[in-house]
């Protein structure tokens, strides 16, 4: 589903990853992180797709909200588990969204 974001500007955190082959409860933690992010001040929405390459984009109202999310104890635990178990590689990009537009039939 495409996130319903507010008028610009806002921020996007783009998380691109390649997983190891073992799952080790990845989906459970992923669902937990999405539910937890939804409760964070400044969280605007999320979009995610995964095949061999996974891309998750979360949207935030400010850099401060992103920083607080990164420092959240449960999110920190998930990141460490990702490094030790789930991911072969990942990259995080933080961007300011200055314009967006959409099409819908």
Residue 46 maps to a domain: yes
| CATH code of the domain in which 77 resides | 3.30.70.100
pLDDT in tens, 81-100: 999 999 999 999 999 999 99
Mean of all residue pLDDT scores within the chain:
94
Over the stretch 35-62, which tens digit does the pLDDT of each residue have?
999 999 999 999 999 989 999 999 999 9
Cis peptide before 8 (omega within 30 of 0): no
Q: Is residue 58 part of a domain?
A: yes
How many domains, in total, are found in the chain? 1
Name the residue range of residue 85's domain. 10-97
pTM: 0.92
Predicted pLDDT at 5: 96
Q: Which two tokens stand for residue 26?
A: 């990845």
CB 58 within 8 A of CB 37: yes
Q: What is the mean pLDDT of residues 30-36?
A: 95
Sheet containing 10-19: order of strands: 43-50, 54-60, 10-19, 87-97
């Amino acid at each position: 589903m495409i996130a319903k974001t507010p008028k610009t500007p806002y921020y996007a955190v783009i998380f691109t990853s390649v997983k190891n082959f073992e799952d080790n409860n990845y989906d459970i933690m992923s669902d937990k992180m999405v539910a937890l992010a939804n409760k964070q001040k400044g969280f605007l929405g999320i979009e995610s797709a995964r095949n061999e390459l996974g891309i998750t984009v979360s949207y935030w109202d400010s850099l401060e909200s992103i920083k607080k999310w990164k420092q959240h104890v449960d999110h920190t635990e998930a990141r460490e588990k990702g490094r030790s178990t789930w991911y072969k590689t990942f990259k995080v990009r933080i961007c300011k969204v200055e314009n967006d537009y959409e099409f819908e039939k």
